[in-house]
């Protein structure tokens, strides 16, 4: 999607360091961290929010990625968060899962 910040990061139009990447998703450090470690796990496919997910194997794969990222980053305790819809605080309209660890 042309106007999407996460698609731009994926397409290298905006510089960002990937902490993880596989065929389904990638992960970056949140630019405005709300915990000591704050990582965003983002599907490569542009999907607006959880409400638009049709094939939930994507969500399974994202959570598998989360466990790999956490091992890699030595994260043993964490919260996950998916904001869905503007009224719930979703700012970037491209599905993502927050990993938050203090």
When the beta carbons of 45 and 73 are compared against Zn ion, the nearer one is: 45
Q: Which of residues 10-49 bind ligand AMP (CB under 6 A)?
A: 14, 16, 28, 30-32, 40
> Pick from 28, 46, 60: which is nearest to 95 by CA?
46
Residue 26: CB minimum distance to ligand AMP, A: 11
Catalytic residue among 46, 77, 96, 98: 96
Largest CA distance in the chain: 36
Q: Output the CA–CA distances (angstroms, integers) from residue 26 to 20, 59, 82, 87, 88, in the order listed.
A: 5, 13, 16, 26, 23
Residue 81: CB minimum distance to ligand AMP, A: 7
Is 96 part of the annotated catalytic residue set? yes
- Catalytic sites, residue numbers: 96
């Amino acid at each position: 999607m042309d106007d999407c910040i996460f698609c731009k990061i994926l397409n290298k139009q905006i510089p960002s360091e990937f902490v993880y990447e596989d065929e389904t998703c990638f992960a970056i450090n949140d630019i405005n961290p709300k915990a000591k470690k704050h990582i965003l796990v983002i599907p490569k496919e542009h999907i607006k929010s959880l409400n638009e997910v049709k094939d939930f194997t994507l969500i399974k794969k994202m959570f598998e990625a989360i466990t790999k990222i956490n091992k890699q980053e030595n994260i043993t305790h964490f919260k996950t968060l998916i904001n869905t819809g503007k009224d719930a605080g979703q700012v970037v309209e491209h599905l993502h899962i927050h990993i938050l660890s203090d």
